[in-house]
């Protein structure tokens, strides 16, 4: 099935009106994009920010009456649409389109992240087979890559770990493949919990070695290793929870943090943890620490 896109350039103040106009005109979906290179890397808690200049795209069946759609949308915008264009969109399996661009990644000396549909380049290495589906975590983002590099440098034999905000399960599965005995995962997204289950099985691991829970159902424990690759705001809010999950002498790995946020995040944990030097990749950092003994 072919589709048409109606792209409209507008301002943040008018974005709600334009969205309603596109839906009234019959758009199957509406997408908001930055139109002026104004990145918002981490919104404040509870905030859904928009850029000053916004490009809003309505997706329509290719058989749509384009003139009629324009007239309907314009009527909802005071009689005239802002600058706009129609574009033809080729129909594809968009959920899988990215697969052709996702290749094996060497994260550390002997650790590779391999798409589940390709053969590992080094069969003798520790190869984590991954299909993230709709969950976060492929190893390509600097925050995940930094966490994997840190993990590969740890001694994990026989340890228990927590993967808080597990996403695709990539960090917890890497910990198991590198020697951890058991990982407990948690995520607020049901699709992430399902993706983790699938990836655990894909790597030939017993499901009971990586049980997953919503945060409210996560059992209390003191783990040897706690990992959380989320965002700075939630990491500061979760400081009491992640501290309680880490045993005295246990290790903590935090990421999803911009370099400018590192000091603020560490301040939420310094009463209980001793931090190692910050590791950075592009504008992102990974923080690692050891919990003080009682």
- Could you give the maximum distance between any two Cα atoms of the chain, in Å? 72
The span from the CA of 99 to the CA of 237, in Å, is 35
Residue 229 in marked binding region:
yes
The span from the CA of 104 to the CA of 279, in Å, is 23
Tokens of 171: 């960090």
DSSP letter, residue 13: T
Residue 165 in marked binding region:
yes
The span from the CA of 15 to the CA of 10, in Å, is 7
Residue 149: its H or E element: helix 142-152
The span from the CA of 226 to the CA of 147, in Å, is 11
Residue 163 in marked binding region:
no
Residues annotated within a binding site: 144, 165, 187, 229
Residues annotated within a binding site for S-adenosyl-L-methionine: 144, 165, 187, 229
């Amino acid at each position: 099935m072919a589709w048409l896109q109606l792209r409209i350039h507008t301002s943040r103040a008018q974005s709600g009106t334009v969205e309603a106009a596109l839906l009234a005109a019959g758009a199957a979906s509406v997408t908001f994009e930055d139109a002026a290179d104004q990145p918002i890397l981490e919104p404040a808690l509870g905030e859904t920010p928009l850029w000053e200049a916004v490009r809003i795209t309505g997706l329509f069946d290719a058989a749509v009456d384009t003139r009629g759609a324009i007239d309907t949308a314009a009527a909802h915008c005071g009689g005239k649409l802002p600058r706009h264009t129609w574009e033809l969109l080729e129909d594809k399996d968009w959920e899988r389109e990215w697969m052709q661009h996702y290749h094996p990644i060497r994260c550390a000396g002997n650790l590779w992240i391999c798409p589940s549909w390709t053969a590992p380049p080094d069969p003798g290495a520790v190869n984590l087979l991954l299909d993230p589906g709709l969950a976060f975590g492929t190893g390509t983002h600097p925050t995940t890559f930094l966490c994997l590099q840190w993990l590969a440098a740890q001694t994990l034999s026989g340890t228990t770990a927590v993967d808080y905000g597990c996403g695709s399960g990539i960090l917890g599965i890497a910990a198991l493949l590198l020697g951890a005995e058991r990982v407990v995962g948690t995520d607020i997204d049901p699709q992430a919990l399902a993706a983790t289950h699938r990836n655990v099985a894909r790597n030939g691991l017993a499901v009971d070695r990586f049980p997953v829970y919503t945060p409210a159902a996560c059992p209390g424990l003191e783990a040897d290793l706690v990992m959380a690759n989320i965002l700075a705001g939630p990491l500061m809010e979760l400081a009491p929870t992640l501290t309680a999950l880490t045993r005295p002498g246990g290790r903590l790995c935090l990421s999803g943090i911009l370099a400018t946020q590192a000091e603020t995040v560490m301040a939420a944990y310094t009463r209980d943890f001793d931090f190692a030097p910050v590791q950075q990749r592009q504008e992102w950092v990974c923080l690692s620490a050891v919990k003080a003994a009682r």
